[in-house]
Amino acid sequence: MQPSDRVMNLRQVFVTVLMFGVAGLLLFMYLQAWIEEHPTVSGEKLQQQIINQDSKLPHPEELATAPKNQSAAANLNKRQTTVIMGRHSQEQASPLGEIASSLVSRLSEQQKMTKAFLKQLKQVNLPPVMRPLNKSLIKDDRWKNIDEAQEKRRYFLYDFCKKYSSENRLRTHLVRMVSRIYVEDRHKILYCEVPKAGCSNWKRILMVLNGLASSAYSISHDAVHYGKHLKKLDSYDLKGIQTRLNTYTKTIFVRDPMERLVSAFRDKFEHPNSYYHPVFGKAIIKKYRLNAREEALKTGSGVKFKEFVWYLLDSQRPVGMDIHWEQISKLCYPCLINYDFIGKFETLEEDANYFLQLIGAPAELKFPNFKDRHSSDERTNMEVVRQYLKELSDTERQLTYDFYYLDYLMFNYTMPIV
């Protein structure tokens, strides 16, 4: 072989290797760009499905039970939007027209917020962990049914959350995320407060467990809420927060979203209240009531449920949100905190007493079943809720449902049929 041939061969080999290298690099860059655009394809698809359902349909469970009305349900949103639009164009100049158009913009804003929220969930990489409940203290069969319901609920939430988490951004928001969680160090409990879902009695129980009181019945409403006896999780340093999150039994008690909303409305607006009337009532009447009387504008008393809902759904609320009607998903971050125990207001006493057994509370400590404010009023149950929902139009009901969509989804609630 000639020396020049050998040089040629070497050059060819070199060029070939270089070309493969460049091609490989290009392929790599292309793939990376593609992956960034399509993080988890199936997750995205699912999310899209849910968002589509959000705008069009009632709860998937509802459809399963009433397949014949599916097309009616699917048309609901379209029809309602046109109705609103129609009303809007007729009443362009009136405040009601503005409210109607605000409701429409509210819908798309809610969808955006739901999207953003689901995206945020995807960005937090606490892969949801499901720790088994420690049942070593449960000695009898009495709790069997309650325990089964509990496990179902835990798996249900876990499955929902698993679809939406993937990457870690937790630390930045950690403190805010735990700001509604109360700490009981003796029995190692974390309790996230959801107002209007039995939280006063829960705080009483935590105070008794902590040795701050001898009986739940001896603690007044004001001592519970303004006493500052119980510590919140955000009062600890980062390490204190993380240790407790990882080792304590974390619990949340939830309630049907509409029941919670109606209950909050009745409690805050149908009884004299020196905070909610002047702060929320006044602003609500001023913005949403046509020809409001001087007296109502001055006191803020007598807000109607419909007016309250207009405020709730308004993208330009005249006053901010309040924990009593804030979504549970924003108060307690159920998909990030990984609650060990999910109680429901609908089965409050059984769930709570089972929880007390699990954590080894004194045998004589039982969850109190009293209602300490407006105790003569009928409790807000589904029948009462229906009466209130009847005051709303179909659209307003649908938008209210959309507003609490994640709460419905996470805890397997269904929209009441009015």
Ligand X SMILES: *[C@@H]1O[C@H](CO)[C@@H](O)[C@H](O)[C@H]1NC(C)=O
Residues engaged in binding ligand X (CB under 6 A) = 61, 66, 68-69, 72, 134, 136-137, 152-153, 156, 360, 412, 414
Cα 243 to Cα 127, 173, 220, 247, 361: the distances in Å are 17, 17, 32, 6, 22
Least gap, CB of 358 to ligand X (angstroms): 9
- Ramachandran angles phi, psi of 377, nearest 5°: -70, 150
Least gap, CB of 84 to ligand X (angstroms): 18
Of residues 49 and 75, the one with the C-beta less far from ligand X: 75
Least gap, CB of 400 to ligand X (angstroms): 18
Of residues 269 and 408, the one with the C-beta less far from ligand X: 408
Beta bridge partners of 342: 252
Least gap, CB of 37 to ligand X (angstroms): 34
CA dihedral 299→302→305→306, nearest 10 degrees, is -80
Of residues 59 and 106, the one with the C-beta less far from ligand X: 59
Least gap, CB of 64 to ligand X (angstroms): 9
CA-CA distance, 223 to 225, in Å (whole number)? 6
| Among the listed residues 78, 117, 85, the one whose alpha carbon sits nearest the alpha carbon of residue 103 | 85
Of residues 8 and 137, the one with the C-beta less far from ligand X: 137
| Among the listed residues 404, 63, 59, 373, the one whose alpha carbon sits nearest the alpha carbon of residue 255 | 404
Least gap, CB of 109 to ligand X (angstroms): 27
Of residues 102 and 398, the one with the C-beta less far from ligand X: 398
What type of residue is 206?
Answer: L
Q: How many CA atoms lie within 13 A of 346 on its CB side?
A: 14
The dihedral through the CA atoms of 147, 149, 155, 157 has a sign that is: negative
Q: Whose structure tokens read 């699912």?
A: 46
Of residues 127 and 360, the one with the C-beta less far from ligand X: 360
